[in-house]
Amino acid sequence: MSNSVRFHVSKTQKPGDGNEGFSLANDNEMTGLAGVPSYGSLPASSLDGIHPSIAVVDADGSTRDGYAVFGDDPQSERERLHSIESKEGGKGLELYEEDLKSRPKISRILHSLANYNAGLTPSATDMEKAAKVPQSAKLGTMLGVYLPTIQNIFGVILFIRLTWVVGMAGWMESFFIVLLCCITTLLTAISMSAIATNGVVPGGGSYFMISRSLGPEFGGAVGILFYLGTTFASAMYILGAVEILLKYMAPKALLVGESVYNAADAANNYRIYGTILLLLLFFCVFLGMRFVSIVAAVSLSCVILSIISIYIGIFASGSTPSMKVCYLGDRLMKTTNYMIDDKMYCMKNSTIDLGDNKTEVAPLWKAFCGTGNCTVFWDNNEVSLRDAIPGLNYKVFLSNRVNKYRDKGEYVTGSSTDQGNKLTDILAESSTTFTLLLAIFFPSCTGIMAGSNRSGDLRDASKSIPTGTILAIATTSLVYLSCVLFFGATIEGDVLRDNLTGAPRLLNAIAKDGVIPFLGVFAKTTKKGEPLFALMLTAGISEIGILIASLDQVAPIITMFFLMCYGFVNLACALQTLLKSPSWRPRFQFYHWTLSLIGLFLCIALMFISGWYYALLALVVASGIYKYIEYKGAENEWGDGIRGLSLSAARYALMKLDENPPHTKNWRPQILMLAKLDEQLIPRYPNMFAFASQLKAGKGLIIAASVLEGDYLEKVGEVAAAKQEIQRFLRDHKVKGFTQVVVSKDMEDGMSQLIQAAGLGGLKHNTIMIGWPYGWRHDTEKKSWKNFVSAICQAEAASCALLVLKGVQLFPANSERMVGTIDIWWIVHDGGLLMLLPFLLRQHKVWSGCVLRIFTVAQMEDNSIQMKKDLEVFLYHLRIQAQVQVVELTESDVSAYAYGRTIMMEQRSQMLRDLNLSKKEKEVVVSLRCHSNQFYTLIQLE
């Protein structure tokens, strides 16, 4: 027998047999999991309801329900447990039999967690097929992340704009542009890896990460912008494909116009071909993700072959340069001025021989001498053919090192002093600056989220996503940077400058979360699980980008959307790291909050460098969506970082807040509102909440509290229901405050608890709002006025101001508009509270139409005129506008009042003597009398 001690909780006795309790058994007496002899018993009630939460741990760290082993032979104990359960028919968990009816076993929970699938919800057809066909192997890093990410990053910018960027900016600035964009995406990928490995990322990718890290408001706002960016990116890719088709592959395939180099003709053809291509892609996506995956594999092969061809062309161009361009002096000629039927006629002859005794006017001569008089530049310069791509050349490399920025309409010439000719020379079709080139190039670095979107299909997402994404960025960055240097070293600068040429599922994921109500229609899918409505909207938005018909105008829009998304990914990672939330445990360890902040600042800087007007517009749109979701969106709680930040900020502020009385400049009414509930746990006087709302100009704390009489263990459900009702009243009356409900043996004790303990630290109430005790004259048990008097005494003991609302049912609701006057009778100096309250009320629309009047009392010997002047000066310094009235009381009026109060006090003393109360009872009555003179005054006023 092993030397171990086992602790088992047994609950086999029937209630009431005298032996009910929990038993402890040692190894020698443990004969079964039921009927264990009792060593020492604890009352069952002391642990009842708690035992399901007790951790039961083996010596090797494994857990069991209701059974604990501490010893050196856990294996034999597991075998013994198994044999016991087998003999008794699986009754080893009798202790938890009732709990298992409402709670699952630990084994079931662990199984569901281990097999959690974070992908998109499969359709019914997919589930049926999955039941018949064995599951395919999960994807690894190469096929699941690396290749898809490369495919998403590489785009048309590399093939039709990078050479132009190098020609305009020079290879030095171009290298910096590419490096800056690549560093930004690399830092974002590091942050994304940390977030993605801190859990499972389902459909929606970046939207999911941002929303679960920063909250539904940020997630919805940035998710919509990222969706728009992805959608406009599809328009950019389509326009790029059409441009390649019409400019380089089939220039004669124009449907309208005569030349693709004519801006108007090119734009119209781009729109027609782009719309046709968009429809084809729409049907491809509509067929399903399986068909898209097949097409994607083919397109990826084409992209890789194209990139390989670039490098082959760079090294092969030096040996056999085939591409020629025509120069007149140092000016690069338009191809239309020396090309006829794809043949080059770079000569100064007036005519050319086409064969078969056919001649034609030479295109160059016609351009410069067609009017009959040749230009001076034509006469003074010679025509020459030059290699457009001479191959790797040091002189070319040096000549392309600096920028050659041009304004729109400026001539692209070889000399800075030569102004050129509009009819014959090449003109810049758009102004070029560093910021514009940065905005145009950045979309070629996007697409880094492809791996996180496929987490459900990966064998090990926490390993594959960081590794595959960072390797893909490193690969594409190397290609971009090397191409910048190679283009600058192999292509003539004039030739470079001559080249002036997943989204539906993201929206579906946003719609499924329900954070934006009107997007609910896009959460619907077809029987195959395809988001048809989201796809149709995506196609419509993409068509808008195609109708712009200019890749250079679409690219900056995409840049803004992606930079905002990447910036918030970095913010999410930095925020979670700095907050040190217990749930922040990413498997990817190669991150730091400083890297995330650098990535965030780079994204913001690139946004405003690329186009401050686009950046401001994107921020305004995002802010609008944020406020809309905050106001009308679904109340989703995801334990996000913004909530954690709020908690940390609140904790920090409370720790910094001094518990001593605040300075008079910082004083504001912090109200504890004692609300009375009816039998249905609904506040009896709704207008009390309206009055609290009308005082909200004070920007102070409001705690709506109530007391339930009884035992807390029996009233737990009623406490929750009462809190919900009070919170509903707060929302309905637009009061921003907290709720608190306590259970006490009587109302007086409960109010005492609230007055003493409500609030936290320095954020405590200084004003108590309570209603007048109606019907106190007819209250046989005298509970109402006793509770009221007790509240007055406790408020005085707590040094709190007291607001007594009399006739609260007649108080105006927030929808009413009051006119007339607010009268204040200022008898005793109270520190200015009576002045402050009506001032705060008049800030609200209900009381804004009222005039404030202040009445003060003067006796005959007082100078009432001077009192009025002094009071007006006092109000002037308080910056409160009010009418002042001084009411004079004669000596007889004051004496009569004092005489009446004296008679009342003597009558009460006589009543105490006649009642024959005990000494203790007299002390209670005297205490109430001493601390509640205000109450008797209020009775007289009633």
Phi first, then psi: give them for residue 709, nearest 5 degrees: -90, 135
- Indicate if 306 and 330 belong to the same structural domain: no
- Indicate if 703 and 780 belong to the same structural domain: yes
Flag whether pLDDT at 92 surpasses 80.
no
Flag whether pLDDT at 33 surpasses 60.
no
Strands (E), 600-700: 671-674
Which residue(s) pair with 851 in the sheet?
821
Q: Please state, in angstroms and rounded to a whole number, the distance separating the CA atoms of residues 387 and 506.
A: 48
Least confident interval from 79-93, 275-289, 487-501, 791-805: 79-93
- Indicate if 39 and 74 belong to the same structural domain: yes
- Indicate if 456 and 435 belong to the same structural domain: yes
- Indicate if 569 and 671 belong to the same structural domain: no
Most confident of 289-293, 685-689, 937-941: 685-689
Q: Are 301 and 308 in contact (CB under 8 A)?
A: no
Least confident interval from 37-51, 310-324, 733-747, 798-812: 37-51
Q: Are 32 and 88 in contact (CB under 8 A)?
A: yes
The pLDDT of residue 72 is: 43
The pLDDT of residue 904 is: 58
Most confident of 282-296, 501-515, 647-661, 695-709: 695-709
> 76 exposed, middle or buried (CB, 10 Å; 0-12, 13-18, 19+)?
middle
Nearest C-alpha neighbor of 441 from the set 349, 335, 558: 558
Flag whether pLDDT at 9 surpasses 60.
no
- Indicate if 205 and 71 belong to the same structural domain: no
The pLDDT of residue 176 is: 94
Domain termination residue (choose one: 816, 840, 868): 816
Most confident of 506-515, 621-630, 685-694: 685-694
- Indicate if 78 and 221 belong to the same structural domain: no
Residue 738: strand, helix, or coil: strand
pLDDT > 90: what percent of the chain? 8
- Indicate if 771 and 914 belong to the same structural domain: no
808-822 burial code (b ≥16 CB/10 A, e <16): beebeebeeebeeeb
Flag whether pLDDT at 627 surpasses 50.
yes
Which residue(s) pair with 913 in the sheet?
none
Would you place residue 722 in the very low, low, confident or very high pLDDT band (cuts 50, 70, 90)? Answer: very high
The pLDDT of residue 724 is: 92
Residue 476: strand, helix, or coil: helix
Q: What's the whole-number mean pLDDT along residues 31-58? A: 36
pLDDT tens string 93-146: 454 455 555 555 554 555 554 554 443 344 445 445 445 444 445 678 888 888
pLDDT > 70: what percent of the chain? 62
Q: Does any domain span residue 91?
A: yes
Q: Does any domain span residue 76?
A: yes
Sequence-separated (6 or more) residues with CB below 8 Å from residue 38: 10, 19, 21, 23
What string of DSSP letters covers 157-173? HHHHTHHHHHHHHHHHH
Q: What is the pTM of this model?
A: 0.61
Q: Does any domain span residue 622?
A: no
- Indicate if 809 and 903 belong to the same structural domain: no
- Indicate if 307 and 328 belong to the same structural domain: no
Q: What's the whole-number mean pLDDT along residues 71-82? A: 46
Would you place residue 503 in the very low, low, confident or very high pLDDT band (cuts 50, 70, 90)? Answer: very low
**Measured torsion, CA atoms of residues 512, 514, 518, 521, in degrees rounded to the nearest 10:** 20
The residue that leads in pLDDT, 888 or 849, is: 849
Nearest C-alpha neighbor of 11 from the set 42, 39, 20: 20
Strand (E) or helix (H) holding 357? none
Which residue(s) pair with 770 in the sheet?
804
Domain termination residue (choose one: 568, 591, 611): 611
The pLDDT of residue 177 is: 93
Pairing type for strands 324-328 and 331-332 reads antiparallel
How many angstroms separate the Cα of 86 from the Cα of each of 63, 79, 82, 93, 94? 19, 11, 6, 12, 14
Q: What's the whole-number mean pLDDT along residues 878-886? A: 86
What value does the mean pLDDT of the chain take?
A: 71
Q: Does any domain span residue 903?
A: yes
Q: Does any domain span residue 849?
A: no
The pLDDT of residue 26 is: 40
Q: Does any domain span residue 637?
A: no
Residue written as token pair 């004496």: 895
The residue that leads in pLDDT, 587 or 860, is: 587
- Indicate if 276 and 337 belong to the same structural domain: no
Where residue 592 sits, what CATH number does that domain have?
1.20.1740.10
Element counts in the chain: helices (H) and strands (E): 34, 17
Q: Does any domain span residue 792?
A: yes
Flag whether pLDDT at 186 surpasses 90.
yes
Residue range of the domain that includes 178: 141-312+428-483+502-611
Nearest C-alpha neighbor of 732 from the set 779, 801, 686: 686
Where residue 716 sits, what CATH number does that domain have?
3.40.50.620
- Indicate if 29 and 90 belong to the same structural domain: yes
pLDDT tens string 268-325: 888 888 888 888 877 777 776 677 667 777 878 888 888 888 888 888 776 666 677 8
Most confident of 6-10, 274-278, 343-347: 274-278
Q: Please state, in angstroms and rounded to a whole number, the distance separating the CA atoms of residues 749 and 758.
A: 14
Q: Does any domain span residue 656?
A: no
Domain termination residue (choose one: 816, 850, 867): 816
Would you place residue 482 in the very low, low, confident or very high pLDDT band (cuts 50, 70, 90)? Answer: very high
Provide the domain count of the chain: 5
The pLDDT of residue 587 is: 81
